């Protein structure tokens, strides 16, 4: 089972100068993208141990994103919960099937979320 604050603790320990929760979310999205890229390389290299390691890192971040959702701000949290849960399922399938197709789908979704997040936080500044 995931430590509820694993991703948050990892990022805050490694990035003491994080200025805002908005920046933290951006870093979490970027982390999933980086870890998926590493998992994909491990699949290409036939390295099951590394594949599992990187997919587990991506999964931990998505689990943390689910955990920190604020349901006091309307339906967006419900939508994101479903989206994040689906991405977790795809990561599980990628690991079970040794497949980069599911990783690519997760990365496409996270790239879209990252772009939208950057636009939203840029407008709010």
Mean pLDDT of the chain: 89
Domains: count for the chain:
1
Q: Which domain holds residue 62?
A: 6-124
Write down the pLDDT at residue 2. 45
> Domain of 69: which CATH number?
1.20.120.340
Q: Which residues are within 8 A (CB) of 98 and not within 5 positions of it... i.e. 6 or more apart?
A: 43, 48, 51
Q: Looking at residue 77, what DSSP letter applies?
A: H
**Pairwise pLDDT comparison (114 vs 15), residue with the higher score:** 114
Could you tell me the pTM of the whole model?
0.82
Q: Give domain status of residue 1, yes or no.
A: no
Per-residue pLDDT tens digits for 69-124: 999 988 999 999 999 999 999 999 999 999 999 999 999 999 999 999 999 887 66
CA dihedral sign of residues 73, 66, 61, 83: negative
Q: In whole angstroms, how large is the CA radius of gyration of the chain?
A: 14
Write down the pLDDT at residue 120. 87
Q: Looking at residue 72, what DSSP letter applies?
A: G
């Amino acid at each position: 089972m995931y430590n509820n604050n694993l991703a948050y603790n990892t990022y805050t320990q490694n990035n003491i100068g994080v200025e805002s929760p908005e920046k933290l979310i951006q870093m979490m999205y970027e982390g999933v993208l980086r870890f998926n890229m590493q998992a994909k390389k491990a699949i290409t290299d036939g390295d099951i141990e590394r594949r599992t390691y990187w997919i587990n890192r991506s999964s931990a971040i998505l689990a943390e994103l689910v955990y920190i959702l604020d349901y006091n701000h309307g339906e967006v949290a419900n939508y994101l919960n479903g989206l994040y849960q689906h991405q977790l399922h795809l990561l599980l399938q990628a690991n079970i099937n040794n497949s980069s197709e599911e990783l690519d789908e997760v990365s496409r979704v996270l790239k879209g979320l990252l772009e939208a997040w950057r636009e939203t936080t840029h407008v709010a500044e």
